[in-house]
Chains A and B, each alone.
Chain A
Amino acid sequence: MNPAALLAALGRPALALLAAIGRLTLFVTDTLSHLFRPPFYLRELRDALISVGYFSLPVVGLTAFFTGGALALQIYSGGARFNAEAVVPQIVAIGMVRELGPVLAGLMIAARVTSSIAAEIATMKVTEQIDALVTLSTNPMKYLTLPRVLAATIAGPILVGIADIIGIFGGYTVATGRLGFNTAAYLQNTVDFIQFTDITSSLVKGAVFGFIAAMMGCYYGMNSGRGAQGVGRATKLSVVAAAVMILAANYMLTGLFFTS
């Protein structure tokens, strides 16, 4: 391969990536620019809060419960190798609140919310409903995107908080039910061990992940190709992008909060 072709082969994807980042940045700025400009579509916000927040509760709760339980079992058997079985409550608490609660809730939001937002908006695009909104003097970014992004950013921390609590409860159930831990001591250890930063980091992650999840759904939906194939592709890409970005953001936020 000659040098010019090599450069081109490296340059083309790099340029494409930059262009994608640019488009996404514009999309995000456009969305946020509607935050303080009336009219405000409160009914859409309410509907989005219900569908993003309320209907995500079961799946987030179940995931957190089982993971908390599994975590307790693992720490117990792993800890037994160096006589440290007693740390179960502390490690479950820190593991759930700092990492697993936010990541699990984030990924579940990506699976449930990102996909449904992308499919809905892409279908609206394909069936000319987005065009119809514009002709009816309604800005689609304000009417569709902003309420969903806001709702997910508000619901994110709440869902993460619930995931944290249910996850710890899962660990508690297993530890006191199967592993012979004292109930009062388990709770005391948990409460004593968790610090304020653990909780703040957890909730901040929830807000960021919710924001990413809804933003990706809207972005891919609004940029959907034509026909049923376009909708399918937009949905798939949105979930993949949201999941990857949530995990990357999680790493960065953990770095920000816990390395000094």
Chain B
Amino acid sequence: MIKLDNVYKSFGSNHVLRGVDLEIPRGESMVVIGGSGTGKSVTLKSVLGLVTPDSGTITLDGEDVTKAERDAFLARFGMLFQGGALFDSLTIWENVAFRLLRGSLKRPKAEAREIAIEKLRRVGLKPEVADQFPSELSGGMQKRVGLARAIAAEPEIIFFDEPTTGLDPIMSGVINELIREIVVEMGATAMTITHDMTSVRAIADKVAMLHEGVIQWTGPVSEMDTCGDPYVEQFIHGRAEGPIEAVR
């Protein structure tokens, strides 16, 4: 279980997280929604230790993440970055198999390549792309390669930062289904950031709404439509009028 307790983070005078409390039980799919720039990515990065909170604690199975042994800790995670974050100097398959080519999970090259091609297939990419470079692919394809890389080592916890942004509706559907599958089949714990309400309904067990540095509302996806929270209502219906200011 991942637990964030009263987490604060500022960048200079920009107070991004102002007391975030959030719990993600093992094997559940949590979706975090909220406007752009509200600190959703910063929240994910805090859990991974890419961003150090100013105060508050984050624990994984009761252990403080800042005190965990880094390699063993990170080996449990997979992360899809918002922009894909593929390594330009490596081919697609080397990107996907990055973890399998070095370090503690290292295995023979041919085997790593086979796994990479299999993961590419799962995200709807043909084996032909394996030997291309990231710059030769479209943004949406890069995103899917990023997804393949995140799941390549079959991690127990997976973070998806806007997995369907920039994809066409059909490909979004494929990715949503894939994320659902990963959670159900692999029993993985997932935390997904998205603005896409179709995606929320397809993949969430639970939903949390981040606004003004705190979790405004959290609950099962089935209660999202009837929760009566004005922030959530405005967000899921995409209204310009409401408590969330359109100018931020």
CB of B77 within 8 A of CB of A135, answer yes
CB of B103 within 8 A of CB of A129, answer no
CB of A134 within 8 A of CB of B102, answer no
Question: Nearest CB to that of B99 among chain A residues?
Answer: A136
Q: Give min CB distance, B157 to chain A, whole Å.
A: 11
Q: Which interface residue of B79, B81, B85 has the most chain A CB atoms within 10 A?
A: B85
Interface residues of A in 127-186 (CB under 8 A from B): 127-129, 131-138
Residues of B within 8 A of A (CB): 45, 48-50, 70-71, 74-75, 77-79, 81-83, 85-88, 98-99, 102-104, 149
Contacts of B45 in A (CB 8 A): 131
Contacts of B77 in A (CB 8 A): 135
| 9 residue pairs from A and B, CB less than 8 Å apart | A124-B87, A124-B88, A127-B83, A127-B85, A131-B81, A132-B85, A132-B87, A133-B87, A137-B74
The complex places the Cα of A137 from the Cα of B71 at a distance, in Å, of 6
Which of A39, A124, A127, A129 interacts with B102 by CB under 8 Å? A39
Extra pairs beyond A132-B86, A135-B78 (4, CB < 8 Å): A124-B88, A127-B83, A131-B50, A134-B74
CB of A129 within 8 A of CB of B87, answer yes
Contacts of B98 in A (CB 8 A): 136, 138
CB of A128 within 8 A of CB of B87, answer no
Q: Give min CB distance, B241 to chain A, whole Å.
A: 32
Contacts of B83 in A (CB 8 A): 127-128
Residues of A within 8 A of B (CB): 39, 41, 124, 127-129, 131-138
CB of B85 within 8 A of CB of A131, answer yes
Contacts of A136 in B (CB 8 A): 74, 98-99, 149
Q: Give min CB distance, B158 to chain A, whole Å.
A: 11
The complex places the Cα of A253 from the Cα of B13 at a distance, in Å, of 45
Contacts of B102 in A (CB 8 A): 39, 41, 138
The complex places the Cα of A138 from the Cα of B77 at a distance, in Å, of 13
Q: Which interface residue of A39, A41, A129, A135 has the most chain B CB atoms within 10 A?
A: A135
The complex places the Cα of A39 from the Cα of B104 at a distance, in Å, of 10
CB of A128 within 8 A of CB of B99, answer no
CB of A137 within 8 A of CB of B87, answer no
The complex places the Cα of A132 from the Cα of B103 at a distance, in Å, of 15
Contacts of B71 in A (CB 8 A): 137
Contacts of A41 in B (CB 8 A): 102
Q: Give min CB distance, A145 to chain B, whole Å.
A: 15
Question: Nearest CB to that of B77 among chain A residues?
Answer: A135
The complex places the Cα of A42 from the Cα of B228 at a distance, in Å, of 58
Which of A132, A137, A138 interacts with B81 by CB under 8 Å? A132
The complex places the Cα of A137 from the Cα of B74 at a distance, in Å, of 6
CB of B48 within 8 A of CB of A135, answer yes
The complex places the Cα of A129 from the Cα of B87 at a distance, in Å, of 6
Contacts of B70 in A (CB 8 A): 137
Question: Nearest CB to that of A132 among chain B residues?
Answer: B85
The complex places the Cα of A124 from the Cα of B78 at a distance, in Å, of 19
Q: Give min CB distance, B54 to chain A, whole Å.
A: 19
Q: Give min CB distance, A179 to chain B, whole Å.
A: 49
The complex places the Cα of A124 from the Cα of B87 at a distance, in Å, of 8
Q: Give min CB distance, B20 to chain A, whole Å.
A: 19
Q: Give min CB distance, B143 to chain A, whole Å.
A: 13
Contacts of A129 in B (CB 8 A): 85-88
The complex places the Cα of A138 from the Cα of B95 at a distance, in Å, of 13
Contacts of A133 in B (CB 8 A): 87
The complex places the Cα of A128 from the Cα of B81 at a distance, in Å, of 7
CB of B50 within 8 A of CB of A135, answer yes
Q: Give min CB distance, B133 to chain A, whole Å.
A: 14
Q: Give min CB distance, B188 to chain A, whole Å.
A: 15
Contacts of A138 in B (CB 8 A): 98, 102-103
Contacts of A132 in B (CB 8 A): 79, 81, 85-87
Question: Nearest CB to that of A134 among chain B residues?
Answer: B50
Q: Give min CB distance, A21 to chain B, whole Å.
A: 23
Which of B88, B99, B149 interacts with A137 by CB under 8 Å? B99
Contacts of B104 in A (CB 8 A): 137
